[in-house]
Structure 1
Amino acid sequence: MRPQYHLAAAGKMYPNAWRQVNIFRKSKGKDLPDWPSWCFLPMAATYSIVSEGGAMAPERLGDVAKLAALIAWRYTQGIYKFEPSVYESISTTVVKNDIPVDVLYRLPEWGVYIETPGLDEHGFFAHLEYDINTHRSELRLLIDSEEALYPIILHLGQHTVTEAIDRALSEAAKQGNFNKQNLPIEQMIEHQSKIAQHCISLLLYLCSEEPDITRIENELPQRPSPKKVKGDWKLFPPQKAKTWRIGEKIAEEIAKTASQDQGGTHKTPTPHIRRAHWHGYWTGERAGQDRKFIYKWLPPLIINATSN
């Protein structure tokens, strides 16, 4: 599998990386500043690993984003595979302007890899970053294209998901990043916008309320807990990757809707298909600590259909 190939390649290039990750994690809130639990390891630590504690060689600068994503993914190695009909429907559902960016903190694991058969790219890694110096938060996407791994960065703050995407693309345009094919700037932004929208829609579903994920050994994706070994607490990566199947139950609903839509006689009012869409609402007091945005992805549904 491609993500495992990338992980193995990173381990060969930086053979001491995993030992250093354990050292940095042990220093969390002690010798190093603390950081939120949703971030596995700040990229400042990854920078130190790649630079070997010294000046960064220019040709290795791009390795920081790659290694950071692989570090976050290594301890769960979850590969998310959507059912084809669900994948098509979710990835083409327009992200609503009112979805707050905070929902992206709900990734089921520190790092995920989602397959993207609907794009030219094979898939993408996603993880959350916390800058221990500026205290800024980011959602980091690492796109797995045939030619290379390259990042798309969304700054998280007091704005919506669509605003975060727009800001990411605007910054990419300023920096001239990711233009591997030397496209005109407008075409490059359009290409990146398509990829970002596509990937974020899939991530939003994983972060939504009760996503349709088929259990493995009666378990759902989660962040692992450390185990005590010789008086010390350690995290251990799984022996192999897990492929989480997404949308098996919803695929049955979509198939049923498609079947109902094929002919037959109907009574008034006229039947129609309710398009797939995001539905969300706030719970809790406006200024309360328990305030939360609850949202779900609703699949297409036949409205006012009659059985034959």
Structure 2
Amino acid sequence: MSSKIPKVWQMIDLARPLGLKNAKCSSRIFAPVETATAACIACQAGKAKGGRVDIPYPSLVLALAQWRKDKEVFVLDPDLAQILYEQDDTSIPAAAVDYLPYPCFYVETAGLDAYLPGVHGFFFYIGWDTQTRKELMSFIFAGKEGKIYPFDIPLDSPDLSECFDRMNRRKLLSKNAEIQARGRQELEQRDSVMLLLRCSLQVVLYLCACNAEIVPDPEQESVMKRSNGSEIKDRYVEIRKWDVGFVTGPALQAQKRRLQSEESPTRDGSHAPKRPHVRRGHWHHFWTGAKSDAENRRLVLKWLPPIFVGSVDDDLPVVVHPVKEA
């Protein structure tokens, strides 16, 4: 991006204060997407000389402007990813995202290409809707050959179906032909896109959970180098990777396979025998602090893994490794 639009990062940093003020953004917003659009136009104004200005996806530019400051990548274990994808629990208070590990991060996770071909991961950050003046959960899905699929979900709307229809309607009514075309494509693939968003949301919630298994990737940790100063050089060695669920995921899948191999039903006391089965994982949350003290009141989100009912080994110890700064 730096080579395609030189000095775009510096331009965004200069424009951010005014953009935040004009859009009346909440305190945790990095910048509205209009700031990224304006920065791209300004950086290419001289080169265009009255011609067409080539602006990439503004939401991607905005995501990269934030991500490059921390350069955090979370690599999800494929087994854990599959377990999370099977969940359908999205009725979580918006306060859960108060515990995002970083303001903007990239998630590398397998299996999303089943819903949108070529997708291998996504950027996530809290965005801003300048029309409604509300916070958004912004997903930027990365596909093959540089293809990008951005989706925004209002943070205060738990119904993914309603959110999709509302955001898609805005794309179809856009004056930008490219955005209109993307809206039509998404509408044709509505069911797949809904599954993609639901699965990705489960992953984001897991990263916010107090008992998430997240540890530094040893290979990347051995080569990672970051300067002590504030200068960002945008080099590969500045990236920090985290391994997510590489103990929990395989252990759960192994127990699931053992359960599936147990064909005979088990008897529970005087009740009729029950065949072994799995209760899907889900979320548990509770509040700490007095309701009268809103400033210090906090939501705690905890992931409850699948329960294997009727298995020989019902209890699985889950290893917890909370994220801690070095």
TM-score normalised by length of structure 2: 0.71
Shift of 1:12: 1.1
Tell me the secondary structure at the aligned position of residue 247 of structure 2. Answer: helix
Shift of 1:52: 0.6
Deviates most, 69-78 or 285-294? 285-294
CA distance in 2, matches of 1:89, 1:291: 31
Larger relative helix fraction: 2
Matched, 1:171 2:147: no
Kindly tell me the number of residue pairs found equivalent between the two proteins.
284
| 1:82 counterpart residue number | 76
Give the counterpart letter for 1:156 in structure 2. L
CA distance in 1, matches of 2:87, 2:310: 22
Matched, 1:46 2:47: no
| 2:321 counterpart residue number | none
Matched, 1:274 2:279: yes
CA distance in 1, matches of 2:264, 2:105: 46
Distance 1:100 1:58, change over 3 A: farther
Matched, 1:215 2:227: no
Shift of 1:259: 4.9
Distance 1:193 1:179, change over 3 A: farther
Matched, 1:20 2:26: no
CA distance in 1, matches of 2:289, 2:63: 34
Unaligned regions of 5+ residues in structure 1, if any?
Answer: 1-9
Give the counterpart letter for 1:14 in structure 2. I
Match runs of 1:113-262 below 5 Å: 113-118=106-111, 119=113, 120=117, 121-130=119-128, 135-146=133-144, 148-157=147-156, 159=157, 162-163=158-159, 166-176=162-172, 177=179, 179-180=181-182, 183=185, 185=187, 187-216=188-217, 239-261=237-259, 262=261
Q: Is the 8 A contact 1:89 1:276 kept in 2?
A: yes
CA distance in 2, matches of 1:123, 1:237: 20
Q: Is the 8 A contact 1:41 1:72 kept in 2?
A: no
Q: Deviations over 1:135-187 (max 9, x none)?
A: 43222111212362131011223x4xx325632443213422575495594x3
Shift of 1:134: 6.6
CA distance in 1, matches of 2:77, 2:205: 16
Distance 1:211 1:292, change over 3 A: same
Unaligned regions of 5+ residues in structure 2, if any?
Answer: 173-178, 269-273, 314-326
| 1:5 counterpart residue number | none
CA distance in 2, matches of 1:12, 1:96: 40
Give the counterpart letter for 2:305 in structure 1. P
Tell me the secondary structure at the aligned position of residue 75 of structure 1. Answer: helix
Tell me the secondary structure at the aligned position of residue 40 of structure 1. Answer: coil
Distance 1:207 1:75, change over 3 A: same
Matched, 1:11 2:2: yes
Q: Identity of counterpart residues, as a percentage?
A: 19
| 1:3 counterpart residue number | none
